[in-house]
Structure 1
Amino acid sequence: MKPSGSLLKIISEDLMPVTEIDIRALAEIYAEENVYLSVYLPVSRENEHVNRVFVNSRVGAIKKVLPADLRPEFEKTFDMAEELLFEPAVSGERGRIIFASAPDSFLHVYRLAVEPEKSLVLDTSPFLLPLARLRADYEDYGMLLVDSREARFVCIRSDIAEEKKHLSTDLMKKHKKGGWSQMRFNHLRKEAIKSFFSEVVENVQGTCDELQTRGLVIAGPGEAKQELMDLLSQDVRQSVLGVIDVAMDISRDELVEESDSVLHENELSTSKKKADELKNAILKGGLAVAGVEDVRNALEQARVNVLLIVKGSSVPGWICERCQNLQANTRPPEQCDRCGGPTSSVNIVEELYELAQRTGAEVEFIEQRDFLDSDDAVGALLRY
């Protein structure tokens, strides 16, 4: 399907969280010939020479094998992207993704605060698997940094820290000499802290609902974190990914690093739970399948609730660019045996991921397990 007018040109001038890229809309785009160029590059002054060597090598290799009738269009497409590939980085930029197609007048440029693995691919559609892996690694989450005097709510999106709320209280530090007794003052101070925490909780719950983050990391010194946890509603408490001890004056970079480690541990735990759920469902004859063929069939029938992909897996195969007939572990025939349309070699895992996006399935990347390895590559928890 060709891209719609609103999707034809997107060029980000500032850093963009990977979760803000409309991967579902990109997954809907495909052509009958190899006209879509996808480039993922790490961005820094140190990487520039290495990037140029890599890009020139890949472009040369593509030109050698591309049919003569497609070379002019590829050269036009690369001309669209080349200058943008090597533009100077904006502040904080560590990676760049470009999708381009001259025949479809299509150009997307995304500047990232995270570093992608180098890749340059010419295909019948935008190459989305590296973007999917980045999205799995860098989900949006909230960080609440709190002590008894101050609270800061920071939303962390692809290592971009955006402060959303900043609350503080003077806790009655100033009072007249000879006024309240120490006991009276301590009691009022505790009430002020409790009132402050109640205000923080109200703001946190509203902000979490508004931002639709994956979860919340609570951080800070001392016992304030636990006092605040006790006041959270059950729903918000269940969304807490972890609690960590840090100083209130921690730098933004250190804050991102500390909270990312919590998120990583949580993701490993979630992936393991999904993998165990898949294994148990298969053992008991439940709503689950494993292996490329069964998963492909379930996706084509829109039966998949969660698609599980073994990290780093790849399965060769082919696809018909007309009817989307998808076949694994076999070389592409001259024409599709279903509709007679043109065929091309593909990574089946990439195609299954795109099919999951089109059918609204959740996607989870998991570590290799004894019952699901790089040969099987995929499994699925089913809706029915």
Structure 2
Amino acid sequence: MAEQCTYEKYVFKKKLETLRSKSGRSTELISLYIPSDKKISDVTNHLREEHGQASNIESKLTSNNVQGALDSLLAKLRSLNKIPENGIAYFIGTVDTGANRTSMENEALIPPESVVDYIYHRDFVFYLEPLEEMLRECSTYGLILLDLREATIGMLVGKQIEVIRHLHSTVPGKQRKGGQSAHRFEQLRRIAIHDFYKRIGDAASEAFLGVEPAELKGILIGGHSPAKEEFSEGEFLHHELQKKVLGLFDTGYTDESGFSELINAAEDILQSIELIKQKKDMEIFFKELATESGKVSYGEDNVRANLEIKAVDVLLLSENLRSERVTVKCGVCGYENKRTRKWKTSEAVPVAGNCPECGSALEVTDVIDIVGEFSELADRGNARIVFVSTDFDEGSQLMIAFGGIAAILRYSTGV
């Protein structure tokens, strides 16, 4: 099965690519980001003010286009009962489609992560940076910060840091009270440290064991030495969580302000984890290919055929794959055929050509995204879908040599 957030990421990325390709003839493209806590009435009042100010724009054509875009935005807000939990982003304006023609772009997107700031932006192009920042792996990581004074448990979900629990220790300082022997004092101190580590482990279990194992990609432990080393080596974490520890990192803070420091320290590891998994899948593919086991398939037609008979175990799709399946039909003799073309951001209808049977003009009757089609087929056959980056050699080969589509099969099919 495909990881839901990975396919959603692909769809979201395609929408941004389309918007990125649009441009206006003047500063008449409006980008509007609305956080969930913003009152719709406040946004409406602001847009009405902008509508009034747009009448002062020197170019009458630009003024009319901006006011038309604002009218469309105001109409959308009137039909919006509540701002979605993650906020909403609107992209509206008159775009240049070439050949001295224009069209009205009107797109509303629900972001995969929360919109933080209210933004109204008018320019030649749409303002997409806040959404592009969200185009990263939808992964969950457990975060543990500790020293002998305190500990903080949290999670990194996408780009959002969630603070779950803060604990204070009862570990006495190194200065013993009068009347206690040094040995007795140290003994009591070690007991208190052990109890504190156990409390941290219990809190981590409560926070992380409820997360689906496939979603929890790893655990990062930060803080001061030797506390973090003692905690990690002392088996205070549940054994299932201990397997997911990715590393120990020095941080100056052990309260919630230390989470950003911990994530920055682990940046290289976080970036490499998904690539490592993708490399393993590609290594299996190339191994099966080299041994001629028959348990691999590549190319659009062959992989589609194996998906249809549910023989695919792992579907490998390049993150850079951008193709569409186009159905063309002759309205005169009924001839019908399917073709694959590279996906374009342009909305122009492609010329379908002439019917090979009767010579009449062919008409495009249906267009579907190849990734969407293959993902649906993979889900029906319970195949795992892997979106492969081109940031490593094998990933580049998948795109260049195999057209971005390959599969590891459950058994040899001869296809």
Q: 1:239 aligns with which of 218, 236, 244?
A: 244
Match of 1:263 among 261, 270, 279: 270
CA shift in 2, pair 1:185/1:312, >3 Å: same
Given that residues 315 and 347 in structure 1 are in contact (C-alpha distance below 8 angstroms), is that contact kept between their aligned partners in structure 2? Answer: yes
Aligned to 1:109: 110
1:272 corresponds to: 279
CA distance in 2, matches of 1:23, 1:142: 23
CA distance in 2 between partners of 1:206 and 1:346 (Å): 44
Could you tell me whether the CA contact under 8 Å between 2:251 and 2:261 is conserved in 1? no
Asked whether the 8 Å contact 1:148–1:224 carries over to 2, the reply is yes
Q: What is the 5 A alignment of 1:153-164?
A: 153-164=153-164
Amino acid across the alignment from 2:226: E
- Give 1:271 shift: 1.6
- Which residue in the other structure is 1:373 paired with? 399
1:229 matched to 2:226? The reply is no
Give the stretch that moved more between structures: 355-364 or 240-249: 355-364
1:181 and 2:181 matched:
yes
Cα-to-partner distance string for 1:55-76 (whole Å, 9 max, x where unaligned): 8xxxxxxxxxxxxxxxxxxx9x
Contact kept? 1:319, 1:332, Cα under 8 Å: no
Q: Is the 8 A contact 1:221 1:245 kept in 2?
A: yes
Cα pair 1:154 1:164 within 8 Å, conserved: yes
Alignment match, 2:307: 299
Distance (Å, rounded) in 2 between the aligned partners of 1:110 and 1:222: 40
CA drift of 1:251 comes to: 4.7
Report the CA distance shift for 1:220/1:361 in structure 2 as closer, same or farther (over 3 A).
Answer: farther
Aligned to 1:313: 321
Which amino acid in 2 is paired with 1:172? P
| SS of aligned partner of 2:172 | coil
Kept in 2: contact 1:241–1:266 (CA 8 A): no
Alpha carbons of structure 1 residues 291 and 109: separation in structure 2 relative to 1, 3 Å: same
TM-aligned CA deviation for residue 260 of structure 1 = 4.8
> Under a length normalisation based on structure 1, what TM-score does the superposition of the two structures give?
0.60
Residue 406 of structure 2 corresponds to residue 382 of structure 1? no
Alpha-carbon distance change, 217 to 315 in structure 1, aligned in 2, over 3 angstroms: same
1:277-356 paired onto structure 2 within 5 Å: 277-284=284-291, 285=293, 287-318=295-326, 328-329=340-341, 343-356=365-378
Once the two structures are TM-superposed, the CA of residue 161 in structure 1 deviates from its matched residue by 0.7
How far did 1:199 drift? 2.2
Secondary structure class of the residue paired with 2:186: helix
Secondary structure of the residue aligned to 1:247 is: coil
What does the per-residue CA deviation read over 1:152-191, in whole Å, with 9 as the maximum and x for residues that have no partner?
Answer: 1111112111111222212034998323212221222122
Do 2:87 and 2:111's aligned partners in 1 also have CA atoms closer than 8 Å? no
Q: Which has the larger radius of gyration?
A: 2
- Aligned mates of 1:300, 1:328 — CA distance in 2: 18
Paired residues of 2:249 and 2:262 also in contact (CA < 8 A): no
Cα separation, 2, equivalents of 1:189 and 1:97: 58
| Structure 2 unaligned spans of 5+ | 18-25, 32-67, 92-107, 117-130, 329-336, 343-349, 354-362
Q: Distance in 1 between matches of 2:406 and 2:223?
A: 40
Asked if structure 1 preserves the Cα contact closer than 8 Å seen for 2:145 and 2:153, the reply is: yes
1:137 partner SS: coil
Aligned residue for 1:4?
none
The CA deviation at 1:210 is 0.6
- Cα gap change, 1:287 to 1:20, in 2 (>3 Å): closer
Query: How high is the TM-score relative to the length of structure 2?
Result: 0.56
Equivalent-residue separation in structure 2 for 1:264 and 1:81 (angstroms): 41
Q: Which residue of 1 aligns with 2:38?
A: none
1:279-310 deviation digits (Å, cap 9, x = unpaired) = 11222316432222222223333333332222
Distance 1:234 1:279, change over 3 A: farther
Q: Return closer, same or farther for 1:311/1:319 CA change in 2, 3 Å cut-off.
A: same
Whether the aligned pair in 1 keeps the contact of 2:6 and 2:387 (CA below 8 Å) is: no
Question: What are the equivalent positions in structure 2 for 1:2-41 lying under 5 Å apart?
Answer: 39-40=15-16
SS at match of 1:313: coil
Q: CA deviation at 1:326?
A: 7.1
Distance 1:81 1:359 in 2: 45
Q: How big is each residue's C-alpha offset from its partner over 1:15-67, in whole Å with a ceiling of 9 and x where there is no partner? A: xxxx887968x99xxxxxxxxxx8549xxxxxxxx996388xxxxxxxxxxxx
C-alpha separation between the residues in 1 aligned to 2:240 and 2:383? Answer: 24
Q: Please say which of residues 358-367 and 205-214 is displaced more in the overlay.
A: 358-367
| Contact 1:318–1:348, Cα closer than 8 Å, also in 2 | no
Letter in 1 for 2:29: V
Work out the CA distance in 2 between the residues paired with 1:352 and 1:218. 39
Residue 248 of structure 1: SS of its match in structure 2? coil
Contact 2:88 2:110 in 1 (8 A): no
Letter in 1 for 2:398: L
State the alpha-carbon separation in 1 of the partners of residues 74 and 372 from structure 2. 23
Paired residues of 2:318 and 2:389 also in contact (CA < 8 A) = yes
Could you tell me which residue of structure 2 aligns to residue 66 of structure 1?
none
Q: Structure 2: how far apart are the matches of 1:238 and 1:255?
A: 19
CA–CA distance in structure 2, aligned partners of residues 210 and 97 of structure 1 = 36
CA shift for structure 1 position 208: 1.6
